[in-house]
Amino acid sequence: MALGENFLARILPYIVEHGYAAALLGIPSDLPNGYSDKFRFSTEHVADISAVVEYLNQHAMTPIHLVGTSRGSLSAAWAASKLERLYVQSLVLTATAIAPLQGPLPTQIKQPTLLVHHTEDPCPAASYEGALRLKKSFTASPRVGFIGVTGGLDSPPKARVCSAKTAHGFFGKEERVAQAMLDWIEGQTPPPKI
């Protein structure tokens, strides 16, 4: 998938227009075939994310909120579990791949955490029911939110079920989801479904 189709890439202009700095991490040049889950859970990957967080801190682009979508949620969750709350204020997981996060990792996350998931996510790795169950695992987080997303646009005819231009990528609901995420980051309680 081209990074430009990714849900987070599509909402980046909206985030910036609303006064936030944003850094979007792509696939490192030394991993031309993309990330494996093993790499996502590695100290090397946390070091990469830490370098970006440190850069943002040095340039007064704070507070820092880690956001991950689909399998990128694994990277964001792993980094949040390893970085102090002093550096990362919150964690937002969207269209999360559920299975790799089942286990002890969510209990190690101390930042406020928001899960955003489409009720009709077609991706078998990211079921809505699984996301609802996962929410209960963030026992060390002082604040855990969950937003269910409904509706959107029909997927293109040949879209793969876990692709960005389906309900998995909040296709047609990008700005509404982005605003709900920003509201939550700013301390508001968004509606449970949008």
Structural domain contains residue 65: yes
Q: What is the pLDDT of residue 80?
A: 93
94 pairs with which residues across the strands?
A: 69, 116
Q: Quickly state the pLDDT bin for 104 (edges 50, 70, 90).
A: confident
**What is the model's pLDDT at position 110?**
95
Average pLDDT over residues 34-63: 85
- The answer to the question of residue 93 being in a domain is yes
Q: Is residue 165 part of a domain?
A: yes
Is 96 contained in some domain? yes
Close Cβ partners of 73 (under 8 Å, ≥ 6 residues apart): 93, 94, 95, 96, 97, 101
Q: What is the structure's pLDDT at 4?
A: 66
Q: What is the CATH number of the domain that holds 62?
A: 3.40.50.1820
Residue 158 confidence (pLDDT): 81
This prediction has a pTM of: 0.91
Domain-embedded: residue 190:
no
Q: Please report whether residue 193 resides in a domain.
A: no
Contact (CB, 8 A) for 101 and 126: no
Q: Is residue 184 predicted with pLDDT exceeding 80?
A: yes
Mapped onto helix, strand or coil, the DSSP state of residue 177 is helix
In a domain, 194, yes or no: no
Number of domains the chain contains:
1
* Domain extent at residue 146: 3-185
pLDDT over 90 (residue 40): no
Residue bearing tokens 């909206």: 14
pLDDT for 2 equals 45
